Amino acid sequence: MFNLPEMYLKDLGRLSHKQPNERSRVWAEVLEEVIRGWADTSGRAAFVIAASLASLAVPPSLQSSFVTGSSLTAIVLSAGCLGIGTLLTRILSNLNQEDEEVQRNVVEWLLESPSARRKIATQFSIPGALLWWGSASLGSGTLYMCFINTNTATRVIASVALLTIGLALYSIARSNFLDVVLEKSGNQDAMVQSTFFQEPCTMLAP
């Protein structure tokens, strides 16, 4: 699941580092950040759906059953991301409106049960994982369309584009910019390795 559960576990682990009278407030902050992250994920899922529908409009002479299948798979996965994300958002929004005693009981349950934290973190990760799989499906279909049954010029242009993207990702992965910013701000709890493959919207600042 692209390491997403571990990132949510780190967010939930913040509760154990707070005083009992602060945990309900921190839990509410965690819920708000998770909901905002899902809103961002939903926007990306809508983009994947639009791109997949556009790829289905390509003339049949430039398509294949693999491209069609990957586009349809991307649509289904992204639609699942939207649906599950919306459902979880509603559940958490309702939970966030409960009184302080309910919030305290939930926090105590999470602190006492590591398996509960793992289960919640996994559920929180489902929308993001579906988005990643949908994006991968769309990307595989696009690459197939660029390199199979095309002319040499198309392959060269696509190769240059992929090489450029690869170099950009390598540069981001090697950069310590995020670590420097967090260190300068004194935000030690949120220190993470600066890598493109971590989901920024799930990293919560204490």
Of all helices (H) and strands (E), which one includes residue 152? helix 152-174
The whole domain housing 172 covers 4-202
* C-alpha–C-alpha distance, residues 202 and 165, integer Å: 24
* C-alpha–C-alpha distance, residues 174 and 67, integer Å: 33
Residue type, 204: L
Total tally of structural domains belonging to the chain: 1
Q: What is the tens place of the pLDDT at every residue in 115-143? A: 888 999 999 999 999 999 999 999 998 88
- Structure tokens given for 42: 């939903």
* C-alpha–C-alpha distance, residues 177 and 72, integer Å: 38
Residue 128 gets the label, from left (phi > 0), alpha (psi -120 to 50) or beta, of alpha
Q: What is the tens place of the pLDDT at every residue in 178-195? A: 566 556 554 444 443 333
Answer positive or negative: Cα dihedral of 201, 172, 4, 101. negative
- Tokens 């590591």, residue? 114
C-alpha distances in Å from residue 9, one per residue of 50, 102, 130, 151, 193: 32, 21, 19, 48, 16
Residue type, 100: E
Q: For the ranges 85-89, 141-145, 159-163, 190-194, which has the lowest average pLDDT? A: 190-194
pLDDT band at 177 (very low <50, low <70, confident <90, very high): low
Instruction: Give the three-class secondary structure for 63.
Output: coil
